[in-house]
Amino acid sequence: MAHPNRPPPSLLGGSADEIEAQFYEALQRGDVDRLMSLWADDDEIVCVHPGGVRAVGAAAIRANFEAMLAQGGFAVQPEQIHRLHQHGCALHHLVERVSVTTAEGQRQGWILATNFYVKTAQGWRLAAHHASPAAAQPPGGAPEAPATLH
């Protein structure tokens, strides 16, 4: 029997890239149900938003996205995707370009994100999303000077 919040597997796509595209489309539309349907059915799924707390499990993740998307979706575009695929897992590190309208006009910000996907019997699913604020300018290639590690 299909999970009530999940579309049939045929609608989930055949790759981690397709699930990722659906994840960002759901964010843009503010569609929490669709967004949550892309997550793995596992108690240990985890999500961290920039400056936020760690949410573990579907209920906590849903609550965070419901609060974040209460006013609707937002303009977020994945860019500069670096992919690592190994044995039924996929790790995508990317830059999220976020556009917002303020009193001063259109503004852009950048977020560094890591999305971790697992291949399950139901297809590829998101197991972890971790996002951190990036610099005030769009992130580019390799840094010119050595970076400080935490």
CATH code for the domain in which residue 56 is found: 3.10.450.50
Q: Is 141 a domain residue?
A: no
Q: Provide the domain count of the chain.
A: 1
The residues, any chain, with a CB within 8 Å of residue 111's CB and separated by 6 or more, are 50, 95, 96, 98, 131, 132, 133, 134
Q: Is 47 a domain residue?
A: yes
Q: What local confidence, expressed as pLDDT, does residue 149 receive? A: 44
Q: Which structural domain, as residue segments, surrounds residue 92? A: 9-133
Q: Which residues of the chain have pLDDT under 70?
A: 1-13, 136-150
Q: Rounded to whole angstroms, how far apart are CA atoms 144 and 117?
A: 31
Q: Is 120 a domain residue?
A: yes
Q: What local confidence, expressed as pLDDT, does residue 102 receive? A: 82
Q: Is 150 a domain residue?
A: no
136 touches 112 (CB < 8 A): no
Q: What local confidence, expressed as pLDDT, does residue 148 receive? A: 45
Structure tokens at 3: 């999970």
- Number of other CB atoms surrounding residue 40 within 10 Å: 19
pTM: 0.81
**Closest listed residue to residue 112, CA positions, set 145, 79, 147, 69:** 79
Q: Is 4 a domain residue?
A: no
Q: Is 42 a domain residue?
A: yes
Q: Is 143 a domain residue?
A: no
Q: What local confidence, expressed as pLDDT, does residue 13 receive? A: 57
Q: What local confidence, expressed as pLDDT, does residue 85 receive? A: 94
Backbone angles phi, psi at 35, to 5 degrees: -60, -45
Q: What local confidence, expressed as pLDDT, does residue 106 receive? A: 86
Q: What local confidence, expressed as pLDDT, does residue 66 receive? A: 96
- Sign of the dihedral through C-alpha 15, 31, 27, 5: negative
Q: What local confidence, expressed as pLDDT, does residue 142 receive? A: 47
Q: Is 2 a domain residue?
A: no
Output Rg (C-alpha) for the chain, integer angstroms.
16
**Closest listed residue to residue 111, CA positions, set 84, 136, 145:** 136
